[in-house]
Amino acid sequence: MLNDLLNEISIRRTRDYIIENYPEPFIIRELPNGEIEEQKVTFPKRILENVNYKLDSAYKGMYKEISDTITEKLKMAYYKILEYRREPLKTEEEKLTLGRMVAIGGIFRTILLKRLESSVDSFRKSISNHIRFLEKLKVYLKSGKLLTKKSYLKYLLNVYDELEDGDLRDVLDDFRIDEYRTDDLFKDIDIDISLLSGILEKVNRIKPEDDSKLNVLKEKLLDLSKGGQIVLFTYYADTLNYIYSEIMKDGRFSKLKIEAISSSGMTSKSPQERETIIKRFFEKGVDIILSTDVLSEGQNLQTAKFLINYDLHWNPTRMIQRAGRIDRIGSPYKEIYVYNFFPEDELEELLKLVEILQNKIIGIDEAVGLDQTILGEEIHPKVFGIIRRIKGKDEKVFTELEKDIFGGGEVFYQPLKDFLKNKGVEELEKIPNGVFSGLKKDKPSGIFFYYKFGDDFHFWYLYDLKSGTMLTRKTEILDFIKCKPDEIRIIPDFFERVYDANKYVLEDIERMYKEIELSHTQDSQLKELNRSKSTKFIKKMIDEIELQITDYLNEYPNDTSAEQVWEPIKTKLLSLPPTKKRLQELRKIWREYKKNNDWKRMTTELGGFLTEKGIFKKAVVEPFDLSKLKLIAMDFIS
């Protein structure tokens, strides 16, 4: 929704678009004395470099043993607990539930592999936490209790956080232990505890000075710091806390000014503290910033010459966001360098293991359907090829990803604006609904549908005739349907297949719309937040949720439901009269968030608080009515 609005009023340009379409681009800037000058726009050249290390050495020769245990030996009893029922599964829902739990088990294995690559300490904490989880699980099962699905997903997606006794007490369902083969169930849970304890015991022996990946990083930082400022990113806060702690203990870094930024642990920084650090960095008062992705979007760090990615790129969007922090107009460097860490000898095996797990998860998703919260750790199939291309220093990957992520405005809104400028809105209004056309492309054959419901809901689909799958991302669809004004109209011989495809589209639109109905809220006014000390924490809450939603939208651009729920809540929070009792309740919600790091839960609790107080009135959107759904256009690609 926000991206669509921004595209209505502005076009976000990629660097390649500017270079190709504006031979001598410039911007207008105001000087301190008030005078105006033209500044030529230049972009630094991006150079990819590899930092190779040996993952097996980081784990003192135990990598193969650990990866085999994660992918092959663990019983994962909790994730298939229905298989331990004394009676066979009877209902279709039970079978679907079992499939979903097995998929969650695959996601957990994937998380462990990702954290294994990230750092020794990150992996160590995950293993330790899961052992404690399994031990507590046994206690609760024996007392006839079982974690609810929602609470387990919270644990899974925050598996690297501390898990305290109080976290489980209020999130338990009844569990009829007499219906299960408990001897087999507890035996398999004990096998996993034993396997993980064995790994933990060995990993605990690895000292920081034995960590080859950490040692390679230290040497690289010392070398690069001689040539300019450095920004390092890592995915996990546990990894960041670990490497920051060890670097600060090393006397060789004593003369370097180093800061670390994350949202949890010893490196946790408030939005205000982050701004202060960034300002000091911009003024050359900081030599090295180590950060998680809380810093990867929207921050200008153009004084840096070097960027380091400490873990593998499981999310290409983040890679582009990270590089964009130093790849800015006005960079003082002709060349900037992006260094990527790779486990040189183990990379292909690691990618293969993760890819196998992801294919199984995708297979289950296609068969039974998985919640979006479960798929939060899904890795797109194209990622494996992208990682290999980055390893091969293929710098074209930047351009392709930028076009995919940010190019929508250039390839859609700009041509539309040009059309309106030349033809006027009257020409568009003459085109009736339901028109169709066709074109020949060097692409798989497909059918494009554009439906509209009311004034606010626009649905794009492209049905792939070969695979029987649907594309819904507009940037991907645009590659199929865009053409020159004089393109020859070709209607293929598969017109009759439109009916089956259309049936699927209508079913999916109804499903999506009803999901929006459940969560939609409306409001319009925005007031400034009271800036007294007693209410500053409210701004911190707002900043944190906005950061999390931005990150979520970058990963799932088609799912705007979280943003739609949040906007009216934010509006009311900003204008809320801060009575003492209200502030007490809001502080309680904020403290709970800092314990569980569940931003969706905090959003729900804030909405509930405002509704309970009568401050926030929920308003449902117009109920779905198929007769009001309009087919705007179709296109046949052959």
pLDDT tens for 32-91 read 777 777 777 777 888 889 999 999 999 999 999 999 999 999 998 888 888 888 888 778
The one-letter code for the residue type at 607 is: G
What integer is the mean pLDDT of 562-578?
A: 75
pLDDT of res. 509: 87
Does 86 reside within a domain?
A: yes
Does 548 reside within a domain?
A: yes
Q: Collapsing DSSP states into helix, strand and coil, what is residue 174?
A: strand
Burial (CB < 10 A; 0-12, 13-18, 19+), residue 479, is middle
Does 161 reside within a domain?
A: yes
Q: What percent of the chain stands above pLDDT 90?
A: 26
Of 132-136, 205-209, 539-543, minimum mean pLDDT range? 539-543
Local confidence band at 531 (pLDDT 50, 70, 90 cut-offs): very low
557/575 same-domain check: yes
Instruction: Give residue-wise pLDDT tens across range 477-518.
Output: 887 888 888 889 998 888 888 888 999 899 888 887 776 665
What integer is the mean pLDDT of 209-229?
A: 96
266/397 same-domain check: yes
What integer is the mean pLDDT of 269-295?
A: 89
In a 13 Å sphere around the CA of 14, the CA atoms on its Cβ side amount to 19
Of 74-88, 110-124, 141-155, 235-249, minimum mean pLDDT range? 141-155
398/266 same-domain check: yes
542/603 same-domain check: yes
Q: Which residue has the higher pLDDT, 443 or 393?
A: 393
Is 193's pLDDT higher than 90?
Answer: yes
User: Helix count (H) and strand count (E) of the chain?
Assistant: 25, 15
225/172 same-domain check: no
551/497 same-domain check: no
Per the structure, the complete domain to which residue 80 belongs is given by 61-205
Does 353 reside within a domain?
A: no
| Domain end residue (candidates: 205, 230, 250) | 205
| Residues contacting 133, CB < 8 A, separation 6+ | 155, 163
Rounded Cα distance, 186 and 168, in Å: 19
477/588 same-domain check: no
Rounded Cα distance, 11 and 408, in Å: 9
508/583 same-domain check: no
pLDDT of res. 244: 97
117/165 same-domain check: yes
297/398 same-domain check: yes
Could you tell me the CATH number of the domain that includes residue 16?
3.40.50.300
Local confidence band at 9 (pLDDT 50, 70, 90 cut-offs): very low
The count of domains in the chain is: 4
| Domain end residue (candidates: 154, 186, 205) | 205
pTM: 0.67
84/188 same-domain check: yes
Q: What is the mean pLDDT of the chain?
A: 79
Does 360 reside within a domain?
A: no
Q: Are 635 and 481 in contact (CB under 8 A)?
A: yes
Does 300 reside within a domain?
A: yes
438/578 same-domain check: no
Highest mean pLDDT (candidates 150-159, 467-476, 616-625): 467-476
Does 527 reside within a domain?
A: no
Q: Which residue has the higher pLDDT, 175 or 272?
A: 272
Does 382 reside within a domain?
A: no
Local confidence band at 593 (pLDDT 50, 70, 90 cut-offs): confident
